[in-house]
């Protein structure tokens, strides 16, 4: 039998390695930006076309490469970062495996221009699918310019799996955020299809965060700072009142490298315990500095996961640091035993003696002494009524009214008149001003056959038995079909706001909002001035209350962020689903009888009443036979 195991050709091995390194255009952006940072650049420019599918270009002013290095950097496992296995545990650079450029060159058209400071001319290399097409000298400024064109041109299946341009661009922006926040000492520019997306000057960490997420972010940040033998913790956490339902603004950096850690995220949530609303997540930008020998960063292909030597100590320190900062800045209640200067005695009162309060007593006061009231009739009357009240035992309340007729006759100027008799005494009673419903409406309410169960289900009867409706899911279906009609027919009803609402958005959120603006206007929203960072809303749909608008946009953008379809019905459908989910009546809300009946009738008037927009059942039926079997 012949041998069946053989060595793979280099270009096939590179394409397989590319599957680990390059998952989408954002992966290329990450690798190229990190290489530019390792090259000690002070200015980095990122140029994108068609969300990276057509062009990804990174230009830096770093140290550049020699002719030999420029050719060698595209070979597999060629790196300047490590020389032995021990170096893996003392890394302070980004890329170190030497597979990034080789993998990228295997699946794209790559053009490299580089020049060192002391060289007269630079080097230009063009590679297509791992094959070097040309290498020659060129005129170029100091640093490196690397262009990646036509990504996945030789692997059509991988290219077909890419998402829409809007989705891929957002992934690129996410990677751009992660790199730029870790290095505020470097100037970054980003352009997409010729327009500037970001212009981030050299700054400190707080300014870099504000430049990325908008000026309103500054007031939301609480600084944290702690230095120990194990770790140095710095950065910022968001105030609890600005917590969101999405996890978008959550960043951990270890030794200037972005990481993901569910364990450390739990420590942050534990520090915010009792300060957040249900299902809300805090924002944080936390920078950790640890000894490189105590971590292992080579456990994940994308290097976004790190193994720590002492996770438990790090957890406790991070949690206590955040709790201390929240208390120090009066965000959370805290026991402070330090002296409060505001409680000190004012300067002008320091030498004054305390004055004892004087108490004056009326020694002639007698609570049992009779008051002399002018008029013998009233005096005798009050005396008699007081005496009778004291003598009568408890329970003989009828005797309190004995003699009331004679008193009225005595005190009245016309004692002979019948109008002064006991019959003229009026007793206070509750006046019935009217009913909430008319008689006809009361009859209709009495005919309702739908009832609410545990503020979660609606129970109604049908010919074959009974129906149990899930009120939240049913309302989602009703609103979904109503919103679809409004968006497609542009027939929504708006309610004008007395004072326009102003809502802050980051650049990424603003770009997403602009892409769905037309559909939102068809649902009933009316926008005023729109600028990057802040949007003005002058009118809202009639089904939305003013206090729900901010939460609605937050959840809408969060739902659409991971998968925004191309323009068309699919985008309208995603928008209607998100709005319906947000606006639907929640479990635990008590409904009026007419609301219950309306929801039951409206559900069965839908074109597809059996399932929600997300394909979950809206109701179940119980036939008479099924009920009989229970007995």
Task: Determine the average pLDDT of the residues in 282-292.
Answer: 90
Choosing from 294, 328, 362, the residue where a domain stops is: 328
Average pLDDT, the chain: 78
More confident residue, 95 or 192: 192
Residue 382 confidence class, pLDDT cut points 50, 70, 90:
very low
Query: Do residues 185 and 223 both lie within one domain?
Result: no
Is 213 found in the same domain as 158? no
Contact 113, 145 (CB under 8 A): yes
Are residues 192 and 263 located together in one domain of the fold?
no
Give yes or no: residues 228 and 184 share one domain. Answer: no
The number of residues in the chain equals: 631
Q: Is residue 257 part of a domain?
A: yes
Same domain (yes/no): 211, 152: no
* Statement to judge: residues 243 and 150 lie in one domain: no
Q: Is residue 356 part of a domain?
A: no
User: Is 226 found in the same domain as 298?
Assistant: yes
- Kindly state whether residue 413 falls inside one of the protein's structural domains: no
CATH number of the domain encompassing residue 610: 3.30.1370.100
What's the structural domain count of the chain?
3
> Does residue 527 form part of some domain?
yes
Please state, in angstroms and rounded to a whole number, the distance separating the CA atoms of residues 210 and 314: 27
Same-domain check for residues 128 and 227: no
CB 275 within 8 A of CB 312: no
Give the residue from 564, 475, 478 showing the smallest Cα distance to 519: 564
Q: Which residues of 474-498 are buried (b: 16+ CB within 10 A; e: fewer)?
A: bbbbbbbbbbbebbeeeebebeebe
For 294-344, what is each residue's pLDDT tens digit? 877 765 656 677 778 888 888 999 999 998 888 887 776 655 556 566 666
Residue among 149, 15, 127, 117 nearest 71 (CA): 127
**Residues 179 and 235 both lie in one domain:** no
CATH code: domain of residue 319: 3.30.230.10
Which range of residues forms the domain containing residue 109? 10-200
Cα separation of 273 and 323, whole Å? 9
> Is 519 within a domain?
yes
For residue 512, being part of any structural domain is answered with yes
Query: What's the number of CA atoms in the CB half-sphere (13 Å) around residue 314?
Result: 25
- Residue 398: the pLDDT is 59
User: What confidence tens digit (pLDDT) does each residue in 126-178 have?
Assistant: 998 888 899 999 999 999 999 999 998 888 888 888 887 878 888 899 899 99
Return contacts of 76-79, CB within 8 angstroms, 24+ apart.
76/10, 76/13, 76/14, 76/17, 76/102, 78/102
pLDDT digits (tens, 9 = 90+) for 202-258: 999 999 999 888 877 888 899 999 998 888 999 999 988 888 877 778 899 998 889
pLDDT in tens, 65-122: 888 888 888 887 666 655 555 555 556 566 545 567 888 888 899 999 999 988 899 9
- Residues 185 and 304 both lie in one domain: no
The reply to whether 351 falls in a domain is no
Q: Looking at the domain assignment, is residue 122 inside a domain?
A: yes
What's the token pair of residue 462?
Answer: 């049908």
- Is the pTM of the predicted complex or chain greater than 0.75? no
Least confident of 31-40, 111-120, 455-464: 455-464
> Are 167 and 296 in the same domain?
no
Residue 434 has pLDDT above 90, yes or no: no
Q: Are both 212 and 317 inside the same structural domain?
A: yes
Q: How many CB atoms lie within 10 A of CB 440?
A: 8
Among 221, 321, 305, which Cα is nearest to 262's?
305
Domain boundary among 328, 345, 368: 328
The residue out of 150, 175, 200 marking a domain boundary is: 200
Location of structure tokens 């100027």: 413
């Amino acid at each position: 039998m012949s041998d069946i195991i053989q060595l793979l050709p280099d270009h096939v091995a590179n394409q397989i390695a590319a599957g680990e390194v390059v998952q989408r255009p954002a992966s290329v952006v990450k690798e190229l930006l990190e290489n530019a940072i390792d090259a000690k650049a002070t200015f980095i420019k990122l140029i994108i076309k068609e969300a990276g599918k057509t062009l990804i270009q990174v230009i830096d002013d770093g140290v550049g490469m020699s002719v030999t290095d420029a050719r060698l950097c595209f070979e597999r496992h060629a790196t300047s970062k490590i020389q032995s296995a021990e170096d893996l545990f003392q890394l302070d650079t980004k890329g170190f495996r030497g597979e990034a450029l080789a993998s990228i060159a295997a699946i794209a058209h790559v053009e490299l221009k580089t020049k060192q400071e002391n060289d007269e001319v630079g080097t230009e290399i063009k590679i297509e699918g791992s094959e070097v097409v040309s290498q020659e000298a060129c005129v170029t400024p100091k640093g490196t310019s690397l262009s990646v064109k036509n990504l996945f041109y030789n692997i059509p299946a991988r290219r077909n799996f890419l998402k829409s341009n809007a989705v891929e661009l957002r992934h690129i922006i996410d990677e751009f955020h992660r790199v730029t926040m870790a290095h505020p000492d470097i100037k970054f520019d980003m352009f997409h299809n010729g327009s500037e997306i970001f212009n981030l000057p050299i700054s400190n960490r707080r300014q870099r965060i504000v430049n990325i997420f908008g000026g309103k972010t500054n007031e939301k940040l609480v600084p944290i700072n702690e230095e120990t033998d194990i770790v140095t913790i710095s950065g910022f956490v968001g105030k609890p009142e600005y917590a969101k339902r999405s996890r978008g603004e959550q960043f951990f950096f270890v030794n200037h490298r972005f990481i993901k850690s569910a364990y450390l995220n739990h420590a942050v949530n534990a520090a915010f315990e009792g300060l957040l609303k249900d299902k809300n997540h805090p924002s944080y930008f936390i920078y950790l500095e640890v000894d490189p020998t105590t971590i292992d960063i080579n456990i994940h292909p994308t290097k976004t996961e790190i193994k720590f030597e002492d996770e438990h100590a790090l957890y406790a320190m991070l949690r206590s640091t955040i709790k201390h900062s929240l208390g120090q800045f009066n965000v959370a209640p805290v026991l402070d035993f330090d002296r409060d200067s505001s409680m000190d005695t004012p300067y002008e009162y320091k030498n004054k003696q305390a004055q004892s309060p004087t108490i004056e007593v009326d020694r002639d006061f007698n609570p049992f002494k009779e008051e002399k009231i002018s008029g013998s009739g009233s005096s005798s009357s009050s005396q008699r009524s007081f005496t009778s009240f004291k003598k009568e035992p408890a329970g003989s309340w009828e005797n309190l009214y004995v003699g009331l007729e004679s008193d009225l006759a005595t005190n009245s100027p016309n004692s002979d008149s019948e109008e002064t008799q006991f019959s003229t005494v009026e007793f206070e009673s509750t006046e019935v001003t009217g009913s909430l419903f008319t008689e006809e409406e009361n009859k209709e309410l009495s005919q309702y056959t739908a009832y609410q169960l545990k503020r979660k289900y609606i129970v109604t009867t049908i010919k074959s038995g009974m129906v149990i409706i899930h009120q939240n899911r049913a309302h989602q279906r009703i609103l979904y079909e109503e919103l679809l009609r409004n968006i497609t027919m542009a027939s929504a009803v708006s309610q004008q706001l007395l004072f326009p609402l102003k809502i802050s958005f980051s650049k990424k959120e603003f770009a997403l909002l602009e892409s769905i603006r037309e559909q939102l206007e068809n649902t009933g929203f009316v926008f005023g001035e729109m600028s990057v960072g802040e949007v003005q809303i002058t009118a809202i749909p009639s089904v939305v209350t003013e206090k729900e608008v901010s939460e609605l946009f937050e959840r809408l953008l969060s739902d659409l962020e991971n998968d925004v379809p191309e323009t068309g019905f699919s985008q309208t459908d995603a928008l209607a689903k998100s709005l319906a989910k947000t606006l639907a009546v929640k479990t635990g809300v008590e409904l009026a009888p007419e609301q219950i009946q309306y929801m039951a009738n409206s559900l069965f008037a839908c074109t597809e009443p059996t399932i929600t927009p997300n394909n979950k059942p809206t109701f179940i039926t119980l036939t008479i036979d099924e009920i009989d079997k229970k007995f």
